[in-house]
């Protein structure tokens, strides 16, 4: 077992483990740490805890210190510097006539490096831009091209539900989302109905996937046949997943007579669908 603390550097950022170096932390405190990017200022999301070594990427980097009031002020100053750098970089992009859209600027805590995030349709030759930025800011410059999902995560916004975007507010990493999840939940497959602000499938489709898979496994599929408690046999024309009800076109005793009826799923006999985890 190894003692670690968990730290994040963005609101919905990934949690990284660090060696506490004998310092006790509580959730919500801040720390200054050494990372692969340089010195960073982050929030403690997980207090001192012992974890099995197989859950940790070794070797662990150590905490430099608990954040002080001076560190907090430096962090706020850095944000001001980032806003200034954003405006300068955007102006330089226009001067160089580059086909790229600046998304965000981020300084490491010690301002040893400035990262400029941008989107572009293809590859961009930004070597001249980097030279200009390095001459202006007198620090290491890194330009990082990101995709539309990353752009939305960085900028934030509101979804069709009226709530802040999942990726910007709490999701540390993107989850795989497929059109099958929308089908499983009986949603309209119109792209405008199931796509997020980024234009990709909504991350929240993943949230209820397991529930719908479980409920659907208890229902017949549309087009299947089921037998009612009265002994009538009929074809399934629709299902209500949440209500667990099924509509059938049943064959009545009189020849050539059919009728649309609704039943509780418990009142029917049919061959159940197999769940994905049972396949």
pLDDT digits (tens, 9 = 90+) for 241-254: 989 999 999 887 76
In this predicted model, what pLDDT tens digit does every residue of 109-131 receive, in sequence order? 999 999 999 999 989 999 999 99
Mean pLDDT value of segment 164-179: 89
Mean pLDDT value of segment 154-174: 90
pLDDT for 45 equals 92
What is the rounded average pLDDT for all residues in the chain?
A: 89
CA-nearest of 156, 226, 37 to 237 is 226
Q: How far apart are CA 63 and CA 32, in angstroms?
A: 7
pLDDT for 274 equals 56
Q: How far apart are CA 132 and CA 138, in angstroms?
A: 10
In this predicted model, what pLDDT tens digit does every residue of 87-104 receive, in sequence order? 999 999 999 999 999 999
Assess whether pLDDT exceeds 80 at residue 272: no
Cα 159 off chain centre by: 13
131: CB partners within 8 A, 6+ apart: none
Q: How far apart are CA 168 and CA 103, in angstroms?
A: 14
pLDDT for 279 equals 43
pLDDT for 41 equals 95
Mean pLDDT value of segment 41-67: 89
Assess whether pLDDT exceeds 70 at residue 276: no
Assess whether pLDDT exceeds 70 at residue 143: yes
pLDDT for 273 equals 66
- Give the chain's length: 279
pLDDT for 252 equals 78
pLDDT for 38 equals 86
In this predicted model, what pLDDT tens digit does every residue of 193-212 receive, in sequence order? 899 999 999 999 998 899 99
| Rg of the Cα atoms in the chain | 27
Percent of the chain residues past pLDDT 70, beyond the cut: 96
């Amino acid at each position: 077992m190894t003692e670690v603390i968990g730290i994040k550097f963005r609101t919905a950022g990934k949690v990284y483990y660090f060696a506490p170096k004998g310092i006790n932390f509580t959730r919500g405190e801040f720390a200054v740490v050494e990372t692969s990017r340089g010195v960073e200022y982050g929030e403690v999301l997980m207090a001192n805890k012992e974890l099995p070594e197989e859950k940790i990427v070794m070797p662990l980097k150590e905490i430099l210190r608990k954040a002080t009031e001076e560190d907090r002020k430096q962090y706020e100053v850095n944000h001001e510097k980032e806003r200034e750098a954003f405006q300068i970089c955007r102006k330089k992009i226009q001067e160089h006539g580059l086909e790229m859209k600046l998304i965000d600027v981020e300084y490491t805590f010690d301002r040893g490096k400035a990262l400029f995030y941008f989107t572009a349709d293809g590859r961009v030759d930004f070597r001249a831009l980097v030279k200009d930025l390095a001459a202006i800011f007198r620090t290491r410059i890194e330009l990082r091209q990101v995709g539309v999902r990353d752009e939305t995560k960085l900028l934030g916004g509101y979804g069709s539900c009226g709530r802040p975007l999942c990726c910007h507010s709490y999701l540390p990493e993107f989850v795989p989302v497929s059109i099958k999840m929308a089908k499983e939940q009986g949603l309209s497959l119109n792209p405008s109905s199931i796509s997020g602000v980024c234009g990709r499938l909504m991350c929240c489709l993943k949230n209820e996937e397991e529930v719908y898979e479980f409920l659907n496994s208890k229902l017949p599929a549309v087009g299947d046949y089921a037998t009612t408690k009265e002994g009538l046999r009929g074809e399934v024309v629709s299902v209500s997943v949440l209500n667990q009800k099924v509509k059938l076109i049943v064959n009545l005793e009189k020849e050539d007579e059919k009728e649309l009826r609704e039943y509780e799923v418990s009142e029917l006999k049919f061959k159940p669908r197999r769940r994905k985890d049972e396949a």
